[in-house]
């Protein structure tokens, strides 16, 4: 029995999405920029996918750009704004707990291009203060970038409140990294005053290498890729039509079933948290307040035991979890997010992330809990962090 609980790293591709992907690969191989019939068929399919994605997100089709994933969407949003509007100002606001695809972009803009970036702290729950955002705003601020759901803790940021705050500052653009939130934590893009929003396909049961960037009508970006002028000149390169269709289908499934999926995930999370509370030596890092916590992520610590040891021990029993975000798990560094919430060293050095999808079952969670309870005492005895 394999139990996959690393869905914040990536998700399995849904069966319906696989079918759509294979059909397009087999039958719609034309270049959508070509003028002939085969190219036109691919172009029409891509246009339909854009309409579907726009409809479920509540935006206009012309406000969506297809990208290769969350990292590209975040890069295009932040660098695109920075380079386009640098004559207006060179100050950016973000938080200390952003994914590397935002954090490292900001560091690069500081180091290589002369921008100033304010990295706002978060509280013990991993939530940024709206007041801190307001106080950090300056006359030369051009962008605020705040993630919707933190990828390690599952903490939900006050995106709607920040958006309302920024409506009074029309020269400050608002970018939201919604890679971990879409389909799990509802968010009204238009009502939240968001100017740019990033989505990754492989977090919602679409293939890797697919993504979206919402760009509000009227916002201009400096392109990162130059070439044939695809995607309104902002993302040159022949479009990945099969991936685009698959992403649109996965997004539609995620949004249409959002309420049911959330209820299912909340049930799993309740079982997981209830079981972890009974296991000696386990401490929960994820906020317990449902209002600020996503339904699919639980971060926990087992002080005294190296997390890599537990990841491998669980893996030997066909249970798959992670130590931190997948993009950082091979780096021998402490989690920036867990440091930001002030965890003591013992918990910082022993953290695991369990992340669920709609395909997980209560039996999966029960198996994980029983296995952890069985193996943890052994490692607590022999391990020293």
pLDDT of residue 384: 56
Q: What is the CA radius of gyration of the chain?
A: 21
- pLDDT tens digits for 47-102? 999 999 999 999 999 999 999 999 999 999 999 999 999 999 999 999 999 999 99
Q: Given the DSSP bridges, would you call strands 283-284 and 297-301 parallel, antiparallel or unpaired? A: antiparallel
- Supply the pLDDT for residue 327: 55
Number of H helices, E strands in the chain: 12, 12
Active-site pick, 25, 100, 326, 327: 327
CB 189 within 8 A of CB 255: no
CA distance 79 to 21: 31
Q: Using one digit for the tens of pLDDT, what is the confidence trace for 120-171?
A: 999 999 999 999 999 999 999 999 999 999 999 999 999 999 999 999 999 9
How far apart are alpha carbons 148 and 136 in whole angstroms?
19
Question: How are beta strands 64-67 and 3-4 bridged, if at all?
Answer: unpaired
Residue 126's closest CA among 338, 324, 297?
Answer: 338
Split at pLDDT 50, 70, 90, the class of 303 is very high
Q: Strands 141-147, 173-177: parallel, antiparallel or unpaired by DSSP?
A: parallel
Which runs of E-coded beta strand occur in the chain? Answer: 3-4, 64-67, 91-95, 116-120, 141-147, 173-177, 196-200, 211-215, 283-284, 297-301, 319-320, 351-355
Burial string for 21-46 (b: 16+ CB within 10 Å, else e) reads beebeeebebebeeeeeebebbbebb
Mean pLDDT for the stretch of residues 17-25 = 97
Q: Indicate if 302 belongs to the active site.
A: no
Concatenating the DSSP letter of every residue in 340-375 gives HTT--HHHHTTEEEEE--TT--HHHHHHHHHHHHHH
């Amino acid at each position: 029995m394999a139990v996959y609980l690393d869905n914040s790293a990536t998700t399995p591709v849904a069966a319906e999405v696989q079918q759509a992907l294979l059909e397009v690969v087999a039958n719609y191989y034309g270049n959508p920029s070509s003028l002939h019939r085969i190219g036109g068929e691919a172009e029409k399919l891509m246009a339909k996918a854009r309409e579907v994605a726009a409809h479920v997100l509540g935006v206009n089709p012309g406000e969506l750009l297809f990208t290769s994933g969350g990292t590209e969407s975040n890069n295009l949003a932040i660098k695109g704004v920075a380079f386009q509007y640098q004559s207006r100002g060179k100050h950016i606001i973000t938080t200390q707990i952003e994914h590397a695809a935002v954090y490292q972009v900001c560091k690069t803009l500081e180091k290589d291009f002369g921008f100033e970036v304010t990295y706002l702290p978060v509280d013990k729950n991993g939530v940024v203060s709206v007041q801190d955002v307001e106080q950090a705003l300056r006359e030369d601020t051009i962008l605020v970038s705040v993630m919707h759901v933190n990828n390690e803790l599952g903490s939900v940021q006050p995106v709607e409140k920040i958006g309302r705050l920024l409506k009074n500052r029309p020269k400050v653009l608002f970018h939201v990294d919604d890679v971990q939130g879409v389909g799990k934590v509802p968010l009204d893009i238009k009502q939240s005053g968001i100017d740019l929003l990033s989505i990754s396909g492989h977090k919602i049961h679409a293939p890797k290498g697919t993504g979206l960037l919402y760009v509000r009508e009227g916002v201009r970006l400096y392109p990162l890729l130059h070439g044939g002028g695809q995607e309104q000149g902002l993302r040159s390169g022949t479009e990945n039509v099969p991936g685009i269709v698959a992403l649109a289908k996965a997004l539609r499934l995620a949004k249409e079933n959002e309420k049911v999926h959330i209820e299912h995930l909340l049930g799993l999370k309740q079982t997981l948290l209830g079981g972890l509370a009974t296991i000696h030596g386990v401490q929960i890092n994820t906020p317990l307040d449902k209002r600020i916590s996503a339904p699919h992520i639980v971060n926990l610590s087992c002080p005294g035991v190296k997390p890599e040891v537990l990841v491998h021990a669980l893996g030997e029993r066909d249970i798959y979890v992670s130590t931190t975000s997948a993009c950082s798990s091979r780096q021998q560094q402490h989690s920036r997010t867990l440091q930001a919430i002030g965890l003591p060293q013992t918990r910082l050095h022993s953290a695991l992330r369990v992340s669920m999808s709609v395909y997980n079952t209560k039996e999966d969670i029960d198996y994980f809990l029983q296995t952890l309870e069985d193996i943890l005492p052994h490692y607590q005895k022999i391990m020293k962090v």
